[in-house]
Chain A
């Protein structure tokens, strides 16, 4: 590798690490906010702002890396075993659907990705909740969660848009 290429991959690694750390902090912080579902481990999904930002600047591969790293570390630090499943379901569903759609969305429409991501995140959460507690009755929370997901998703989408403006450089360039 030439010195230029080495420093490029180091910069990429650094940036991914920083993104992971940021996502992790948000993930842990949002635990302080009220729980959308009456089950331990469910989360609002605010950390998806990083997922959204990364998808539009770094491509699916790196985004997935950051997502999985954040989920793994997050559930380790949270101390609750169930957090892993909720975060995986929420994060992966959000990631996959937004990735599928990101080509049809413009940067200005990042909030749309946010809303969709928020909805998907919460659908993932409720699916896991029903599976883990074996209480199909929880499905009654679905409309609440979709509405809530649209709200938090809008928020994360706008934040991601803000991030994109302040930190516009694509990772791939590095």
Chain B
């Protein structure tokens, strides 16, 4: 009888000791707010995560202010309204301008930071949509192009009438700055949702990848999901902002060389890369380039991965995403092409 009791006790002690092996999921720190005209939801794990996120929110608000096209206090506003005069800028702004110009150069102008006059002509900035006349576009097109921007170490000069706008890279840029700041604060596991721009730091606390869904451009369902770590995921698509007039649909992603919405047979482009700014810029650029030029661009640079969805529903992915890639249930009939 004592023997039995001792055995039971031994068993119980073993089980209790095993319990100490179990790790309970740590509680995440979470913050939700509106900035850059979009809803942001940041989640981070670790000690001081809540404080780090509060500071991150501050950083985004400050960044938004300094890059604003409409806020009279921002350097961008000053440059846009200087009528050809040089404007002095902080190194942070200069860095972003330099990045945008380099992206414009790299993509052959498909992504262009000076398209603001065109975007404004279509009414996308005020949400009062209209179709501009060809004459109007002809008048505005000469104002567009990287050559309109001259940047020295600390001064920015725009040709009269040209305007800079970072709407196409601001969220990705913010994502990178936030990731830097959070990592410096000691955070090694976080996911930042800046609208549809996703930036991840490390992995989830249990070591597994973050699961990011890519939405089907034509419905509320998810087309596929990516398992990612330490990188950004950004999607650009005509469906994000568009209007219909006289049976024709016009969207906010314009071809900088024609002034019209880019129609290259794509409905959405998702780019995955370590840098959010790169993803943001490339997703727009690849959408404008179309599937063939986009494939060429990927083969030339190979510093990112992408998922392209065509108008007919078929999907193109770059080789880096091939392993483990699968479409969600209900999309089994879609054709998937892998670029190599």
Interface 1/0s, chain B 1-41, versus A by CB < 8 A? 10011011101100110110010100000000000000000
**By the criterion of a CB under 8 Å from any partner CB, how many residues of chain B are at the interface?**
14
Contact status B9-A29, CB under 8 Å: no
Bound state CA distance, A90 and B183, in angstroms? 44
| Minimal beta-carbon separation of A138 from chain B (angstroms) | 18
Query: 1/0 per position for A152-174, CB-CB distance to B under 8 A?
Result: 00000000000000111100011
Total number of A residues with any Cβ neighbor in B under 8 Å: 20
A7 and B16 CA atoms in complex are apart in Å by: 26
Asked if B22 contacts A11 (CB within 8 A), the reply is no
The CA-CA distance from A173 to B289 in the complex, in Å, is: 84
Residues of B within 8 A of A15 (CB): 5, 8
Given A15-B5, A21-B12, A22-B11, 20 more contacts at CB 8 Å? A11-B1, A11-B5, A14-B5, A18-B5, A18-B8, A18-B12, A19-B8, A19-B12, A22-B15, A25-B15, A26-B15, A28-B22, A29-B15, A29-B22, A31-B24, A79-B24, A166-B7, A168-B4, A169-B1, A173-B1
Chain A contacts for B12, CB-based, 8 A: 18-19, 21-22, 25
Contact, CB under 8 Å: A22 / B8: yes
16 contacts between A and B (CB under 8 A): A11-B1, A15-B5, A18-B8, A18-B9, A18-B12, A19-B12, A21-B12, A26-B15, A28-B22, A29-B19, A29-B22, A31-B22, A167-B8, A168-B4, A173-B1, A174-B1
User: Chain A contact residues: over half helix, strand or loop, or mixed?
Assistant: helix
Chain B residues engaging chain A, CB cutoff 8 angstroms:
1, 4-5, 7-9, 11-12, 15-16, 18-19, 22, 24
Contacts of B22 in A (CB 8 A): 28-29, 31-32
Are B16 and A21 in contact (CB-based, < 8 A)?
A: yes
Q: Please give me the residue from chain B that is nearest to A21 by CB atom.
A: B12
A63 to chain B, nearest CB (A): 15
Q: Which residue of B lies closest to A78 (CB)?
A: B24
What separation, in Å, do the CA atoms of A79 and B22 have in the docked complex? 14
In whole angstroms, what is the CA distance A174 to B5 when docked?
A: 11
Quick check: A167 and B7 within 8 Å, CB to CB? yes
* List of B residues within 8 angstroms of A173 by Cβ: 1
What is the distance, in angstroms, from B187's C-beta to the closest C-beta of chain A? 23
Bound CA–CA A117/B9 (angstroms):
25
A169 and B4 form a contact (CB under 8 A): yes
- Tell me the minimal C-beta distance from A45 to chain B in angstroms: 16
Q: Is the CB of B1 within 8 A of A29?
A: no
Chain B residues contacting A25 (CB-CB under 8 Å) are 12, 15-16, 18-19
- What residues of chain A lie closer than 8 Å to B15, measured between beta carbons? 21-22, 25-26, 29
Interface residues of A in 39-79 (CB under 8 A from B): 79
- How far is A174 from B2 in the complex, measured between Cα atoms in Å? 11
Inter-chain contact B18/A29, CB cutoff 8 Å: yes
Residue of B nearest to A167 (CB): B4
Q: What's the minimum C-beta distance from B159 to chain A, rounded to whole angstroms?
A: 57
A137 to chain B, nearest CB (A): 16
A-B interface, 10 closest residue pairs, ranked by CB to CB distance from nearest: A25-B15, A22-B12, A18-B12, A21-B12, A167-B4, A18-B8, A25-B19, A169-B4, A25-B16, A28-B19
